[in-house]
């Protein structure tokens, strides 16, 4: 996508650079993520272990966060209780010290405040590090605040806390983080009014939460390490458990692949008596039954092919004798009685049909036995189509069907077996003439670099839904009661489909009741090439135009 022309040249140049780098990054991401996506699609074990890790991480993370949060709350509540009790004792002691001054303007009151602050710090807090004590008189500007040790407590004693303690005369606390003596420390700040005869002062007691923070961090670290170890352990357990289940499934899949490849003696190993062992035993039983059925069907198929081939060959000799006698009778039919002459003509026609049936049966038996060979050579297909059309012109004229050829002007050369291609076209055009209902039949040919396609389109009775697959079955007829003009055997389309497959091509059918049918033969230009597409559509263009 190009940048809009109205953007400045530097912006467009920058966008081109960004697109170039984004394309490179996308290609690299695709290269690295493709194996991951392939493993996710193909491996049940990977999906189970991944889902187990995700679910256990969420569960353990939530539980660990809850434990760490509750532990921190417990430590903080304990510190609050201890500090609150200590503040209560300090307030009582400070009130006793200030009780000797009935007025705020006594000369000795500042000294008493200083001595009380020092005593509160040195008395109960000796040995503590970081604890701060501040004694203030917010309502008496002449009395200076005393903070032990002398540090800036502006960030610790906030105006909100001062208002609550000094103005509302209530006990209040808050947690503040401030930089004291060059170190950033979290403090628990308690404030309480100290009653005196002239009013009240305010005592602020500030205790660092260093120990509690260290304990909370240690608990979080322990919970994190334990959670990670638990998640990894769950992943390993899930992998081992899944492996126990997936391994027999993989073995069954590989065994099934070998069975489908024709190795019918493959079996799974049965260990123990659990569910997996029952699965392996059931699979082996199924494989044994399939092997017996396949062997039996192969034997029956072999006997059937042999029977068909033997019968076809054995019938050749009497057929030849009967053919010689029938030809002699047919040649002398003009000297016979009209009824006898008609019988001679019927005998000749039925012998032709019988001989065609034997020929088709022999061809089918060669396909079934795998003896059919492709005698491919470079051939121009246009004369073949013209030759088939000329030979069926007489039949088409008798039933009132017009054959329309739509062939390329230039030769269409392909590597095919001309005898088999001509047989396929003869069957397709003959069926179209037979079912054409006295309407035109179009034979169309087109080619490209890889394939040649020939379609035969009639406008007769057509095919019902699903019959486009049945027409290639042996001895199948759409309407067995219809009178036949060509004397077909019911094997023509089946042999044609085998001829197309022998070329590596396709023979497909389309039909609609009352709108006719179309058959498409697609062959590769070069023998052995794989077909991808056909130069002609299977559904007729006139039908496509009506639908659209």
- Evaluate if residue 476 carries a pLDDT over 60: yes
Band of pLDDT at residue 312, cut at 50, 70 and 90: low
pLDDT in tens, 146-164: 888 888 888 888 888 888 8
pLDDT in tens, 357-377: 777 777 777 776 666 778 889
d(CA 268, CA 280) in angstroms, rounded, equals: 6
The answer to whether 94 touches 194, Cβ cutoff 8 Å, is: yes
Q: List the chain domain ranges.
A: 1-42, 68-215, 267-372, 377-478+489-547
- Secondary structure string (H, E, C) spanning 128-157: CCCCEEEEECCCCCCCCCEEECCCCCCCCC
pLDDT in tens, 414-461: 999 998 899 899 989 998 998 888 899 999 999 998 999 999 999 988
d(CA 453, CA 457) in angstroms, rounded, equals: 13
In sequence order, the 6+-apart residues with CB closer than 8 A to the CB of 375 are 417, 419
In sequence order, the 6+-apart residues with CB closer than 8 A to the CB of 86 are 124, 205
The pLDDT value recorded for residue 547 is 44
In sequence order, the 6+-apart residues with CB closer than 8 A to the CB of 359 are none
Give the residue from 365, 447, 443, 387 showing the smallest Cα distance to 411.
447
C-alpha dist (Å) from residue 102 to 99, 107, 151, 169, 195: 7, 11, 30, 19, 11
d(CA 207, CA 149) in angstroms, rounded, equals: 13
The pLDDT value recorded for residue 545 is 46
Does domain 68-215 sit in CATH 3.30.450.20? yes
More confident residue, 543 or 546: 543
Separation of CA 98 from chain center: 82
d(CA 194, CA 166) in angstroms, rounded, equals: 10
Give the residue from 309, 419, 301 showing the smallest Cα distance to 364.
309
3-state secondary structure of 362: helix
- What's the Rg (C-alpha) of the chain? 50
- Secondary structure string (H, E, C) spanning 259-303: HHCCCCCCCCCCCCCCHHHHHHHHHHHHHHHHHHHHHHHHHHHHH
Q: Where are the beta strands (DSSP E) in 409-469?
A: 413-416, 441-447, 451-458
Does domain 267-372 sit in CATH 1.10.287.130? yes
As beta bridge partners, residue 147 has 134
The model's pTM is 0.48
In sequence order, the 6+-apart residues with CB closer than 8 A to the CB of 328 are none
pLDDT in tens, 238-264: 888 888 777 777 888 888 888 777 777
More confident residue, 172 or 24: 172
Per CATH, the number for 377-478+489-547 is: 3.30.565.10
């Amino acid at each position: 996508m190009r940048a809009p022309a109205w953007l400045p040249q530097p912006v467009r140049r920058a966008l081109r650079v960004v697109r170039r780098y984004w394309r490179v990054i996308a290609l690299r991401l695709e290269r690295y993520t493709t194996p991951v996506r392939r493993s996710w699609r193909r491996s049940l074990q990977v999906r189970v272990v991944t889902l187990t890790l995700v679910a256990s991480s969420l569960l353990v993370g939530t539980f660990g966060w809850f434990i760490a949060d509750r532990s921190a709350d417990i430590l903080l509540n304990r510190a609050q209780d201890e500090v609150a009790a200590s503040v209560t004792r300090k307030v009582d002691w400070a009130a006793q010290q200030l009780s000797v001054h009935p007025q705020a303007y006594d000369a000795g009151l500042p000294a008493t405040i200083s001595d009380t602050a020092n005593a509160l710090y040195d008395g109960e807090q000796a040995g503590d590090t970081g604890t701060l004590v501040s004694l203030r008189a917010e309502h008496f500007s002449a009395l200076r605040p005393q903070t032990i040790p002398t540090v800036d407590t502006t960030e610790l004693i906030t105006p909100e806390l001062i208002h609550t303690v000094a103005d509302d005369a209530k006990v209040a606390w808050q947690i503040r983080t401030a930089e004291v003596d060059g170190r950033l420390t979290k403090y628990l700040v308690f404030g309480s009014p100290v009653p005196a005869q002239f009013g009240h002062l305010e005592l602020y007691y500030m205790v660092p939460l260093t120990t509690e923070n260290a304990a909370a961090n240690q608990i979080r670290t322990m919970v994190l390490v334990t959670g990670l170890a638990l998640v990894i352990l769950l992943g390993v357990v899930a992998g081992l458990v899944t492996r126990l289940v997936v391994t027999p499934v993989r073995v069954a899949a590989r065994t099934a692949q070998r069975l489908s490849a024709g190795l019918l003696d493959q079996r799974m190993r049965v260990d123990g008596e659990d569910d997996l062992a029952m699965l392996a035993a059931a699979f082996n039983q199924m494989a044994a039954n399939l092997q017996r059925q396949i062997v039996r069907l192969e034997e029956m198929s072999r006997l059937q092919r042999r029977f068909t081939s033997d019968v076809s060959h054995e019938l050749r000799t009497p057929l030849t004798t009967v053919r010689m006698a029938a030809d002699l009778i047919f040649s002398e039919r003009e000297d016979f009685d009209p009824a006898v002459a008609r019988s001679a003509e019927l005998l000749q026609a039925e012998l032709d049909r019988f001989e065609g049936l034997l020929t088709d049966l022999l061809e089918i038996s060669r396909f079934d036995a795998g003896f059919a060979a492709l005698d491919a050579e470079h051939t121009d297909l246009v004369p073949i189509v013209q030759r088939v059309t000329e030979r069926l012109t007489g039949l088409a004229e008798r039933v009132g069907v017009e054959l329309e050829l739509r062939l390329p002007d230039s030769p269409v050369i392909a590597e095919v077996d001309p005898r088999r291609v001509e047989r396929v076209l003869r069957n397709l055009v003959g069926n179209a003439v037979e079912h054409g209902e006295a309407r035109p039949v179009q034979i169309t040919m087109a080619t490209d670099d890889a394939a040649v396609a020939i379609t035969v389109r009639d406008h007769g009775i057509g095919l019902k839904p699903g019959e486009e697959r049945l027409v290639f079955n042996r001895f199948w007829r759409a309407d067995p009661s219809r009178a036949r003009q060509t004397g077909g055997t019911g094997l023509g389309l089946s042999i044609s489909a085998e001829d197309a497959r022998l070329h590596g091509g396709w023979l497909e059918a389309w039909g609609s009741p009352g709108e006719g049918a179309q058959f498409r033969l697609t062959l590769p230009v070069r023998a052995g090439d794989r077909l991808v597409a056909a130069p002609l559509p299977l559904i007729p263009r006139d039908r496509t135009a009506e639908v659209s």
